Amino acid sequence: MSEKNVGTLAKFTGVSVHTIKYYEKIGLFTSKRNEKSNYRSYDVRVCTVIGECVKYKNMGFTLKEIDQLCKSADDMLITSMLQKRLDAIDEEIRQMTAVRDSVSDYCSEIQEAEEKLGEWYIEKCPDLYIRVQTNNLEYRDEKIEVDGVNLASYAPRNKSTLIVEKDSMNGGALKFHWGQGIVMNGGENEFSGNPNFLHVQGKKAFVAYMRLTGSYCTNGEVAERFAEAYHQYHEGEIPSDAYAMRIKITYADNQEKWNYFKLIIPIE
CB atoms within 10 A of CB 85: 15
- SS3 assignment, position 146: strand
- Domain assignment present for residue 105? The answer is no
Q: Is the pLDDT of residue 143 over 70?
A: no
Report yes or no: 53 and 66 within 8 Å, Cβ to Cβ: yes
The Cα 259–Cα 48 span in angstroms is 60
Residues 132 and 52 grouped into a single domain: no
Q: Is the pLDDT of residue 55 over 70?
A: yes
Number of domains observed in the structure of the chain:
2
Q: What is the predicted pLDDT for the residue at 156? A: 86
Distances (CA, A) of 254 to 114, 250, 251, 258: 20, 11, 8, 11
Residues 153 and 58 grouped into a single domain: no
- SS3 assignment, position 23: helix
Q: Is the pLDDT of residue 61 over 70?
A: yes
Report yes or no: 217 and 259 within 8 Å, Cβ to Cβ: no
Last residue of a domain, one of 73, 99, 131: 73
Instruction: Measure the CA dihedral 221/227/229/235, to 10°.
Output: -150
Residues 180 and 261 grouped into a single domain: yes
Q: What is the predicted pLDDT for the residue at 162? A: 97
Q: Is the pLDDT of residue 43 over 60?
A: yes
- Domain assignment present for residue 11? The answer is yes
**pLDDT band at 69; cut points 50, 70, 90:** very high
Helix (H) or strand (E) holding 108: helix 75-116
Residue 212's nearest CA partner among 263, 155, 136 is: 263
Q: Is the pLDDT of residue 146 over 80?
A: no
- Domain assignment present for residue 138? The answer is yes
Residue 233's nearest CA partner among 251, 206, 259, 211 is: 206
Residues 33 and 124 grouped into a single domain: no
Whole-structure pTM value: 0.77
**pLDDT band at 34; cut points 50, 70, 90:** low
Report yes or no: 57 and 65 within 8 Å, Cβ to Cβ: no
Residues 131 and 187 grouped into a single domain: yes
Dihedrals phi, psi of 237, to nearest 5 degrees = -65, 140
Q: What is the predicted pLDDT for the residue at 88? A: 97
CATH of the domain at 134: 3.20.80
Residues 261 and 130 grouped into a single domain: yes
Supply the DSSP string of 171-188, one letter for each residue: TS---EEEEEEEEE-SS-
Report yes or no: 196 and 144 within 8 Å, Cβ to Cβ: no
Tens of pLDDT, residue by residue over 74-122, are 999 999 999 999 999 999 999 999 999 999 999 999 999 999 999 999 9
CATH of the domain at 31: 1.10.1660.10
Report yes or no: 226 and 243 within 8 Å, Cβ to Cβ: no
The Cα 158–Cα 156 span in angstroms is 5
- Domain assignment present for residue 64? The answer is yes
Residues 125 and 65 grouped into a single domain: no
Residues 149 and 48 grouped into a single domain: no
Q: Which amino acid is at 83?
A: Q
Instruction: Measure the CA dihedral 7/8/9/12, to 10°.
Output: 130
Residues 64 and 122 grouped into a single domain: no
Contacts of 13 (CB under 8 A, 6+ apart): 20, 47, 50, 51, 54
Residues 48 and 153 grouped into a single domain: no
Residues 128 and 229 grouped into a single domain: yes
Residue ranges making up the domain that contains 38: 3-73
